[in-house]
Structure 1
């Protein structure tokens, strides 16, 4: 699960809380978090797709819609799950006499960013086709070759998609929270005065 976690200046929130109604402040925070998480999720989808090497539409089934804030829970989240994407769906993947040549984890890096499996072959089963290779000299077992899961892209520390999500979420909340607070102050008929910096 990818949860929006940011650092906020508590002194500014306390100053706003002194003049805003409790419900109004909470609603302003909710709007800021929901909008920030929505924007950051779009960035994460784009980076996951680039890292895997497939269109965003191919990634969406493996990423849930945003779970928005509630009055009792000011967090927003989405889950990136395991999604089986055949390696041949990855842009530039090809298989021939020399085996499989493909790439995934393109932005994050690692061995799969330049994937070569000499003894890979196609398997036709249940109306579909996938790439596999034998784990030993025996005919069985075989192992299928799949692209990176969206869950892996978001779950690994330092992975491109996770880094992009965290950076965008923090940027968005820093920009949106003061704006939503100002809107709420105006809605309650209060003048907007930015809390003083305590640096």
Structure 2
């Protein structure tokens, strides 16, 4: 069975989803971040994984459901923090972030099925902004991850190239949109209208309309 990793920041105003401000206040952006993280963690609980780990920058709060282990992120850039997350695992692991609250257990299933992660295979979830929202590895060699520029329009392409250059066959999950801007938030909420994230977004829209 595969370990399912979530890499995330504690939803503290001013530290998360800063590109949502404006139009949202830092406190409202943190509420949206908390809802996105909560949606993601409950999806992780529903998914068929042998172990579920939150790799957190910050401290856990009441939003953390039982059944998920928590470890601190290592220091350094995002590439090193992702490598550090994979280093927590013994065996196949699938990593996702907190920016795709529309993700479902069904969507993750192909990469979590027994035998889906083989030594010669990697799983990759491309993001609409050119990055990636999911990465699955059997042998998480740090050389597959460290040094890849993060948060750029070609991050996904560069990470994919790193995998294929290592001789891995890359299998794709569907492209998803990260929540970075208010425009992203509206589109993601429309894709997952029953999510906690969508409910908070509707509530904030109602507050703004008054």
> What's the TM-score, normalizing by structure 1?
0.32
Pick the structure with more helix per residue: 1
Larger RCO (alpha carbons 8 Å, 6+ apart): 1
Q: Report the structure number with the largest CA radius of gyration.
A: 1
